[in-house]
Amino acid sequence: PKTIYLKDYQEPAFWVEHIDLTVRIFETHTDVESHLTLKKNPNIASRDLVLNGVDQDIIELALDGQPLTQSDYRRDEESLTLTCDRDDARFSSLTRIRPQDNTSLEGLYQSGSMYCTQCEAEGFRKITFYPDRPDVMATFTTRIEADQTRFPVLLANGNPVDSGELDEGRHFATWNDPFPKPSYLFAMVAGNLSRKDDTFTTRSGREVALRIFVEPQNAHKVDFALESLKKAMRWDEDTYGREYDLDLFMIVASDYFNMGAMENKGLNIFNSAAVLATPDTSNDLRFERIEAIVAHEYFHNWSGNRVTCRDWFQLSLKEGFTVFRDSEFTADMHDRAVKRIHDVVDLRAAQFPEDNGPMAHPVRPDSYIEINNFYTATVYEKGAEVVRMIHTLVGPELFRKGSDLYFERFDGQAVTTDDFVACMEEVSGRDLTQFKRWYTQAGTPRVTVTDHFDSDTGEYRLTFRQSCPPTPGQREKDSFVIPIKMGLLDADGNDLPIRTDADYNPDTQVLTLTDTETRVVFSGVNEKPIPSLLRDFSAPVRLQFDYSDEQLAFLAKNDANGFNRWDAVQQLYLRAILGMSEDERMGKNAQVPSALLDTVASIAGDTELTPAIRTAMLSLPGYAILKDAVDEIYMENLVAARKAVINAIATRYRDIWRSLTEGLAGRGDYEFTAAEAGRRSLQGLALWYWLKSGDQAAFDFAADLYHHAGNQTDRGNALRAVLAGEDHALQDELLEHFYERWQDDTQMVEQWLSMQSSAPNIGAADIENLMEHQAFDIKNPNKVRSVIAGFAMNVESFHDETGQGYELVADMIGRLNGINPQIAARLVTIFSDWKRFEPKRRAMMESTLKTILATPNLSPDVFEMTERALK
């Protein structure tokens, strides 16, 4: 496979001004006729017209009406190249494709009874011959022809301009999108879909029609997404001054989908799981996720569609910025501190390990084989953190000015992350040259902080040292610009006034580090304070300060910053689990520290804290974070230590968990509000601990809650708690009941599968049984994610000492390689921390990766990920 480098970027020799596309859907095949209006790019001397195209049978090609024969062009697996002597030309093609056999779910494919497309990143080349690269922006006219009974609804980007009947029971619809766009934003849908309508009036008074299309059995599940969409539209006007541009905005739900959703211009296509919701079938987390994804895709209309990426190395330009935007949206809609905590948990669980292993790459990568492999936590989540730091450094007003400038200056263009940063520099007058290392250097910086107090002079000194470990292809790193939001706590837990000559902004409480070592002197300090550092997680770094357990417990109780209170408890858990794990390994008697247990009791009983914050503070770090925190992973010891901490918390505070569970019972109808979701989450966690204490009354309570729950959050909490316990008869009874009741509801069946694959004590054999179940379908990514990815993330089971978990997942990767390489390649990442395990598992995981690499006909997707993992 060929590696593509950022340094080789060149504009194309020809632009496309307009494309006229006709897609004729037949029972056995689909014919695609396309006419491109081409314009020579004067900046490029070459006259090569390069058109990408794969998996298409050519019927006819023509240039300016003249048929082309094979000797007129060069063809390789991915493209066709011909010489075009004219500056203005028209290229035409008629090709044949077979969407019903397209299991890759890229290009045009069949999803249940409908046909739909997914073109990002390079799927358009599976539909027609085209310069399938994001810097080629054209207006599109799309005509779809299909059988009227089977496909009564025909959709494409933009506005409907024509429709009518054809012979033999067929009909057509023509759509025109007036906004020039890259091919990755093309979309079309043909199906028998039901539709729900609404409207949104923009702040300038334009009425926009909103439509959600779903398969008829899901018609009752769209209201929440519609409401979310309207909230997102209003928020983008209020916060960024961005109005929607077309008169129509459509969302379509598809059951077969590789990711969450896709921001195609005017026609977003969603994974059904990311759009369909009712209280009875979706839990609170799902509601929040749907609201965030609907908003994310909508926000792309400006950050991605109107202003797009010059090349795929710039992916974070649209994704990092849009994740930042959707995260702020959720913070504004719900609870800011809780949202920040959830985002940081995700970052630490997914992005930090990525940055700490063979898959590490910069936010703006330098090279790739398969761009689908770069839709990563680094490009998305770390990219969002980078934008957040710019926001922190320049402040909200200048950030808004910078984004206004960016949208105005680059509207209708394909640009780079440098262009984005340049706008922020221009409006703020701040030089962000050094800051841009966040885009080009991989790895998570470490910031080690030490302190010194001089009571004679009243000076308190903090010394910050930053370093960044080597990552693949990057041995040495230059220092980063690191904004550290901070405070100093006195003995009563109050913030001291800060006096310092350092680069500290009193309005934002942000200290900015630029050097490898920075000494900061605070004057007028009468007693040694406790520093509260990296408040709100102001930079994606690993900060280390040598707190005692008592100091962490003090911060957990007193810090004015909600995020740091949570983080102090997390450090206590982490320290306890890692310490006990090490003790176990050394054959020592492991004890749960009393500072931790006392802190847990005080949080559980602290009614000044919202239930949602209490849930976050009472939740232990997961294995992804624990594994990432040690040099060498000893699974048995980590598992034993984590279980011991849970057990101690559960048994010692059994009465607290019981009274919390009972006291937090819901009253009235389900409401998706931050307060209600918080209450349900704390009740769910309390029930889980209560059940872990082994109290029979907890099992009875859970069974009762399961049967009488009026919503899926409570029902799911009850079932998950039961699955975490030891009453196997009750587990079987409830699982059977669940399937019987909900087998016709796809979203519920997906939850049924994933609750089992992520339950404790599930083994590889159970997973094999689950894959034999009629509910499983290897061609459906949601089912694969529910069963296989769920199991692979179920650390206790996946890393079972026999290695059967590894074999099972490797076998699935081999099978998926030929069906859906994108999904197969994602599964490979599960093995990427193999080198950090103790020798036995390390050897098993390495040999599993080698087996995968030896798979015949390995796709470039899986090849790239496996090769990188093995390095």
Q: Catalytic: which of 291, 297, 676, 864?
A: 297
Q: Which is nearer to ligand HT7, 12 or 134 (CB)?
A: 134
**Residue 196 vs residues 201, 252, 501: alpha-carbon distances, Å:** 17, 11, 60
Q: Which is nearer to Zn ion, 282 or 308 (CB)?
A: 308
Tell the smallest beta-carbon distance from residue 31 to ligand HT7 (Å): 25
Q: Which is nearer to ligand HT7, 120 or 355 (CB)?
A: 120
The footprint of Zn ion (CB under 5 A) covers: 319, 322
Helix (H, G, I), strand (E, B) or coil at 37: strand
Tell the smallest beta-carbon distance from residue 322 to Zn ion (Å): 5
H helix or E strand, kind and range, residue 329: helix 315-333
**Residue 30 phi, psi (nearest 5):** -135, 135
The answer to whether 483 and 392 are in contact (CB under 8 A) is yes
Tell the smallest beta-carbon distance from residue 107 to ligand HT7 (Å): 11
Q: Which is nearer to Zn ion, 297 or 567 (CB)?
A: 297
Q: Which is nearer to ligand HT7, 121 or 233 (CB)?
A: 121
For strand 14-25 and strand 138-147, is the pairing parallel, antiparallel, or unpaired? parallel
DSSP per residue over 583-647, as a string?
A: HHHTTPPP---HHHHHHHHHHHT-TTS-HHHHHHHTSPP-HHHHHHTSSSB-HHHHHHHHHHHHH
Q: Which is nearer to Zn ion, 184 or 806 (CB)?
A: 184
Q: Which is nearer to Zn ion, 264 or 416 (CB)?
A: 264
Helix (H, G, I), strand (E, B) or coil at 210: strand
Contacts of 607 (CB under 8 A, 6+ apart): none
Tell the smallest beta-carbon distance from residue 709 to Zn ion (Å): 34
Among left, alpha and beta (phi > 0; psi -120 to 50; other), residue 458 is left
Out of ligand HT7, Zn ion, none, which partner does residue 120 contact, by CB within 5 to 8 A per kind? ligand HT7
Q: Which is nearer to ligand HT7, 262 or 488 (CB)?
A: 262
Out of ligand HT7, Zn ion, none, which partner does residue 118 contact, by CB within 5 to 8 A per kind? ligand HT7
In 627-705 the beta strands, taken as DSSP E runs, fall at none
Tell the smallest beta-carbon distance from residue 379 to Zn ion (Å): 10
Tokens of 732: 């079987």
Tell the smallest beta-carbon distance from residue 122 to ligand HT7 (Å): 9
Q: Which is nearer to ligand HT7, 120 or 385 (CB)?
A: 120
The answer to whether 682 and 666 are in contact (CB under 8 A) is no
Tell the smallest beta-carbon distance from residue 747 to ligand HT7 (Å): 18
Peptide bond before 121: cis, by omega within 30 degrees of 0?
Answer: yes
**Cα 135 to Cα 355: distance, rounded to the nearest angstrom:** 29
H helix or E strand, kind and range, residue 51: strand 48-52
* Residue, CB closest to ligand HT7: 259
The reply to whether 297 belongs to the active site is: yes
Residue 703 CB coordination number (10 Å): 17
**Cα 628 to Cα 559: distance, rounded to the nearest angstrom:** 26
| Residue among 266, 322, 306 nearest 181 (CA) | 306
The answer to whether 479 and 514 are in contact (CB under 8 A) is yes
Tell the smallest beta-carbon distance from residue 280 to ligand HT7 (Å): 27
The footprint of ligand HT7 (CB under 6 A) covers: 118, 120-121, 257-259, 261-263, 296-297, 300, 319, 375
Tell the smallest beta-carbon distance from residue 285 to ligand HT7 (Å): 19
Q: Which is nearer to ligand HT7, 244 or 752 (CB)?
A: 244
Tell the smallest beta-carbon distance from residue 270 to ligand HT7 (Å): 9
**Residue 640 vs residues 129, 627, 724, 752, 796: alpha-carbon distances, Å:** 57, 14, 15, 27, 10
Residues shown for the chain: 871
Tokens of 798: 């996946």
Dihedral sign for Cα atoms in the order 369, 375, 376, 378: positive
Tell the smallest beta-carbon distance from residue 507 to ligand HT7 (Å): 33
The answer to whether 419 and 384 are in contact (CB under 8 A) is no
Contacts of 571 (CB under 8 A, 6+ apart): 547, 552
**Residue 806 vs residues 811, 834, 838, 851: alpha-carbon distances, Å:** 8, 11, 15, 11
Dihedral sign for Cα atoms in the order 829, 830, 831, 835: positive
Helix (H, G, I), strand (E, B) or coil at 261: strand
**Residue 150 vs residues 27, 146, 219, 444: alpha-carbon distances, Å:** 10, 8, 18, 52
Q: Is 773 exposed, middle or buried (0-12, 13-18, 19+ CB in 10 A)?
A: middle
Tell the smallest beta-carbon distance from residue 821 to ligand HT7 (Å): 12
**Cα 320 to Cα 726: distance, rounded to the nearest angstrom:** 43
77-81: long-range contacts (C-beta < 8 A, 24 or more apart)? 78/52, 78/53, 78/54, 78/125, 79/50, 79/51, 79/52, 79/53, 79/125, 80/50, 80/51, 80/53, 80/129, 81/48, 81/49, 81/50, 81/51
Q: Which is nearer to ligand HT7, 328 or 549 (CB)?
A: 328
The DSSP output letter for 303 is B
The answer to whether 512 and 484 are in contact (CB under 8 A) is yes
Contacts of 689 (CB under 8 A, 6+ apart): 618, 646, 649, 650, 653, 657
DSSP per residue over 262-280, as a string?
A: E--TTEEEEEGGGT---TT
Q: Which is nearer to ligand HT7, 120 or 425 (CB)?
A: 120
Q: Which is nearer to Zn ion, 120 or 714 (CB)?
A: 120
Q: Which residues are catalytic?
A: 297
